[in-house]
Amino acid sequence: MSTATEKDTDVTTLLGKPYNVILFNDDHHDMFEVSLQIMKATGCSKERAFNIMMEAHTNGRAICFSGNRERCEHVEAILNEIGLGTKIEQA
């Protein structure tokens, strides 16, 4: 049996609102270097990093990582170590 309080609780209130790290196209680093930095920042596979890099290259931007604000700030800081253009926005 569920109470009114349990029914009215918004899941996003419990989990926090998700954020995205946006990676912008970069003309100053080679594709290999960008892919390596994505892997370092997110822990994703080489294939996933390459796909993110190519999406940013082709479309001008790509969602590089999604998660809570603190984790997104950490990922963004690692990407910014080599001067990649990024932005955090609420999903």
Q: Which two tokens stand for residue 21?
A: 């790290």
How much is the pTM?
0.81
Q: What is the pLDDT of residues 37-59, one digit of tens each?
A: 999 999 999 999 999 999 999 99
Q: What is the pLDDT of residues 54-83, one digit of tens each?
A: 999 999 999 999 999 999 999 999 999 999
Strands in the chain per DSSP E:
19-24, 61-67, 86-90
| C-alpha to C-alpha distance for 38 and 91, rounded to whole angstroms | 19
